[in-house]
Amino acid sequence: MRHLRVPNRAVEDVLVVLRDRGWLATGMRVIPDEDGEHRLVPIDLGAPIEMTSPLDGHQIVQHEGTFDNRVDSDWWNHLALLVDKDEIEAFGEDWPSSHEFISDMMVVRIEAILEPYSSRIAEAKLRAHPHIRLVLNDEGVQGELRIRKLTPIGARVGGEIVTDNIPESACSTRVLVRESGRSIACDPNKAYFSTKLQSERLETLSLSKELRAVIGRPINVCDPFCGVGPALATLLSEPELVNHALASDLNPEAVTLLLDNLRRWDRRDYPPEPSPISRIFEDRIIGIADASRLREHDSLVGLWDLVIVNLPHRTIEFLPSLVPLLDMSTPSLVRGRVVVSESEILDANEEIKRSLPKLLQDFHEPSLKIKRDYSSTLRLCSFEAWIAPQ
Ligand SMILES: C[S@@+](CC[C@H](N)C(=O)[O-])C[C@H]1O[C@@H](n2cnc3c(N)ncnc32)[C@H](O)[C@@H]1O
């Protein structure tokens, strides 16, 4: 998560400004920096990418966020009023102490063994987080479209907490999420979206700026697994960075949300309904498409400076079919995410290199960096590959 690195003596002043602007991450702690002379102040996901005066003199750093125990203990305190102490102790670390906020919804992952306690877990979480409207149990990402199965287990209806027979009207999962100064419309029950990928998107932004500097002009971006478009949200917020953009996805529901988002981000009149991929504006190619078949459209090949490959289970398999999309007249960049077991990372690096054209000299070769655990054996990794003009 992003933190502002602030000299110890300036922390109180910075906290006042961040709170005032709604940019202070709630539920997270200010942590000491390694040098002992600075503190790292957690920045809200919705805060803009660049800080403005008087905060712009402080460095922004990425550091694992630390939950504020006072907030966590709140949920435990509420749970203790609803569940016997012995039962709480019996299930130890199986209780869902962490959660993901998606706007005014909270997503928790409840172990099967704790399902009989779902209602009480939801009630404790709702009591501890008064701004939350709906608590959903995350039953995992499913199918090719990577949609999460989210089941409502508690809601706030007219100020009351309801955990049984939750009315349909309280269960809407379509929300607006603030990220890097933009609003992203998403519905995690209909299309993949994760708030946890913000730092990944910021890394893509910084690589894109580097690419712009290398080729000396705004870049053409191809995001063929775009979902609701969060990667583009970040890139479009940088002036003079993106020239042409292609954004497509196999999931029509994702494309509907993408069109809604683009209408706000681009301030142009995008159509309300999704349709197969087509040129909607001179510089915007948008729609439903199977990424592996984009190369069959002559008008789409050889055009793109940056290709984003975000289908982590199948990225390596898809790479060869995406290479023809790259503009080979100048250096280009492939940015991807991969799920792989730790023992297979070296092989995966070789496979990525085999799938791509000649690499750009003087740039690091593509090499998977572990971002987090995906399961006990699998790791979620990302890479970037700089491609030489051919
Ligand atoms: C892990 S999600 C990433 C979505 C988005 N890039 C993001 O960061 O939120 C992968 C996306 O790929 C889409 N998808 C899966 N198979 C596809 C295919 N063959 N062609 C195009 N999109 C596909 C899914 O619908 C899903 O939206």
pLDDT tens, 238-264?
A: 999 999 999 999 999 999 999 999 999
Q: What are phi and psi of 75, to 5 degrees?
A: -65, -40
CATH of the structural domain 191-387, one choice from 3.40.50.150, 3.10.580.10, 3.90.180.10, 3.40.630.40: 3.40.50.150
Tell me, in angstroms, the distance from the centre of ligand 1 to residue 96's CA. 28
Tell me, in angstroms, the distance from the centre of ligand 1 to residue 319's CA. 14
Query: Where are the extended beta strands (E) located within the chain?
Result: 2-7, 31-32, 38-42, 59-62, 100-102, 105-108, 134-142, 147-157, 160-162, 175-179, 182-186, 219-223, 242-249, 278-281, 284-288, 306-309, 332-341, 369-373, 378-387
What is the band of 136 on the pLDDT scale with cuts at 50, 70, 90?
very high
Query: Which residues, judged by CB distance below 6 Å to any ligand atom, belong to the binding site of ligand 1?
Result: 144-146, 191-193, 197, 224-227, 230-231, 249-251, 254, 290-292, 310-311
DSSP conformational letter for 313: T
pLDDT tens, 329-376?
A: 999 999 999 999 999 999 999 999 999 999 999 999 999 999 988 888
Mutate to test the pocket of ligand 1, among 232, 250, 293, 381 (most ligand atoms within 8 A of CB): 250
pLDDT tens, 102-114?
A: 999 999 999 999 9
Share of the chain above pLDDT 70, in %: 99
**Residue partners of 14: CB distance under 8 A and separation at least 6:** 4, 6, 41, 55, 58
Most confident of 48-52, 95-99, 338-342: 338-342
Residue 62 has pLDDT above 60, yes or no: yes
What is the band of 196 on the pLDDT scale with cuts at 50, 70, 90?
confident
Protein fold of 69-173: GMP Synthetase; Chain A, domain 3 (3.30.300)
Q: For residues 198-207, give the mean pLDDT.
A: 94
Domain edges within the chain = 2-62, 69-173, 191-387
Residue 118 has pLDDT above 70, yes or no: yes
pLDDT tens, 145-170?
A: 989 999 999 999 988 999 999 999 99
> pTM (2 decimals)?
0.86
Q: Which atom of ligand 1 lies at the shortest distance from residue 290's CA?
A: 20
| Nearest CA, atom 4, ligand 1 | 227
Tell me, in angstroms, the distance from the centre of ligand 1 to residue 258's CA. 12
| Nearest CA, atom 11, ligand 1 | 225
**Residue partners of 390: CB distance under 8 A and separation at least 6:** 328, 357, 358
pLDDT at residue 70, rounded to an integer? 60
Q: Which of 249, 251, 247, 205 is nearest to 222 (CA)?
A: 247
pLDDT at residue 73, rounded to an integer? 56
Amino acid sitting at position 332: S
69-173 against 191-387: fold identical = no
Q: What is the mean pLDDT of the chain?
A: 94
Q: Which atom of ligand 1 lies at the shortest distance from residue 308's CA?
A: 6
Tell me, in angstroms, the distance from the centre of ligand 1 to residue 165's CA. 33
